[in-house]
């Protein structure tokens, strides 16, 4: 980490003069163990923060302009805090600008800054690189302004940044776990109440392995927004069907309600509803399994989640299915599923520790043979949440 911090500060110095007084902020990516596409339906999710993260060096520049440089894209983007012209900057910079503008919308006034960004997260890989960028920049802005914002409020501000200024109608999970994660524990989030529970990983004989398909399908963002619209349509119809029952989100629909809904809903909308309702139930069961250290039951829930995402929510793709099927065929695997928004990105697999090395070797070989692409494979454990490593001075 120290070498990386020095590297980003050296780049800051190259672009903005001596790095004296520059601050550093970090926010992690995340992998979701289970609970996919439930957050924007006010349901439950069970993610962990991972070691891959976004790091920003920052310093106020006594102006009303933010100058951001991405080491990943080797691009500079400048924007005004007073004139919101998002069409004049690259898309990646809309997450930086969005963090600043969403803070302003929440009556927090950021100052003009010079920022250098470095990430070890794959962009579009389903590990929440966007939330890591928003959260790290939001912490930089608030730190530089000398303002401390409640972390739940900050999570909502960063979600608004993505919804309003980056055009992605995401739920709260990614920003929330980036801010509240703890080492050694998953974060079970109630996306309605915004309360969370830290669930210790008691499975000493198993590991989570994240495998990146290397695929980034362009339809992910548009299809994500489409799925959200279909869920909202399902909620409106469910409220009509059940009359006096208060249904404001799919969180309020129970598994036993599904047969009656199926008789009234369009088949596509019903499948979307069924995924969310059953996925919420799976998160509840998966949390119980984790608390008991029951790898077998957790694996069953993960497998069922993938099948539901593939068949009912239809957000998987050939490459994700191939990767999961390879995992299912390997010794020592308890469960495997796609993770993230879908249409490419990553899978998460729970595997007996004794089989991890062999699994990684077989996955690399078999997936490349099937697709022609070498996957990126990471053994991960729960990491701590975002922080200001050093304040600007």
Task: Indicate which residue of 39, 174, 252, 312 is catalytic.
Answer: 174
What is the number of other CB atoms lying within 10 angstroms of the CB of residue 57? 30
Q: Is 174 a catalytic residue?
A: yes
Q: Provide Rg for the chain, Cα atoms.
A: 21
Residues 6+ apart with CB under 8 A from 14: none
For 370, the 3-state DSSP assignment is: helix
Burial category of 15 from C-beta neighbours within 10 Å (exposed 0-12, middle 13-18, buried 19 and up): middle
Report the DSSP pairing between strands 206-216 and 75-80. Answer: unpaired
Q: How many angstroms separate the CA atoms of 174 and 275, rounded?
A: 20
Q: Contact at 8 Å (CB) between 354 and 332? A: yes
Q: Contact at 8 Å (CB) between 76 and 67? A: yes
Alpha-carbon separation of residue 186 from 149, 212, 219, 376 (angstroms): 23, 21, 30, 23
Active site residues: 174
């Amino acid at each position: 980490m120290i070498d990386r911090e020095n590297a980003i500060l050296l780049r800051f110095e190259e672009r903005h003069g001596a790095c004296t007084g520059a601050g550093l902020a970090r926010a992690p990516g995340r992998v979701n163990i289970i609970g996919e596409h439930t957050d924007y339906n006010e349901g439950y999710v069970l993610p962990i923060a991972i070691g891959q993260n976004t790091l920003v060096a920052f310093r106020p520049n006594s102006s009303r302009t933010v100058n951001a440089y991405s080491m990943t894209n080797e691009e500079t983007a400048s924007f005004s805090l007073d004139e919101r012209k998002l069409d004049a900057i690259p898309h990646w910079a809309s997450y930086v600008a969005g963090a600043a503008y969403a803070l302003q919308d929440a009556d927090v006034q950021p100052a003009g800054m010079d920022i250098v960004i470095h990430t070890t997260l794959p962009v579009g890989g389903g590990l929440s690189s966007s939330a890591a960028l928003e959260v790290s920049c939001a912490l930089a802005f608030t730190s530089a302004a000398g303002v401390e914002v409640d972390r739940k409020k900050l999570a909502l501000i960063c979600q608004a940044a993505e919804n309003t200024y980056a055009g992605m109608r995401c739920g709260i999970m990614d920003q929330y776990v980036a801010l509240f994660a703890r080492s050694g524990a998953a974060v079970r989030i109630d996306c309605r109440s915004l309360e969370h529970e830290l669930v210790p990983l008691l499975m000493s004989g198993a590991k989570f392995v994240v495998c990146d398909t290397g695929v980034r399908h362009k339809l992910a963002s548009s299809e994500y927004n489409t799925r959200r619209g279909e869920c909202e349509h399902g909620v409106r119809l469910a409220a009509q069907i059940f009359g006096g029952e208060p249904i404001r989100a799919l969180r309020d629909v129970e598994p036993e309600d599904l047969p009656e809904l199926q008789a009234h809903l369009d088949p596509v909308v019903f499948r979307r509803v069924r995924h969310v309702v059953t996925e919420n139930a799976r998160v509840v069961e998966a949390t119980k399994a984790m608390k008991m250290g029951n790898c077998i039951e957790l694996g069953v829930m993960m497998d069922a989640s993938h099948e539901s995402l593939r068949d009912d929510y239809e957000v998987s793709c050939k490459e994700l299915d191939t990767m999961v099927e390879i995992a299912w065929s390997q010794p020592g695997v308890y469960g495997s599923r796609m993770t993230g928004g879908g249409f490419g990105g990553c899978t998460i697999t729970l595997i007996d520790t004794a089989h991890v090395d062999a699994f990684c070797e077989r996955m690399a070989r078999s997936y490349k043979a099937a697709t022609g692409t070498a996957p990126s494979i990471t053994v991960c454990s729960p990491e701590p949440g975002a922080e200001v490593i050093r304040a600007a001075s």
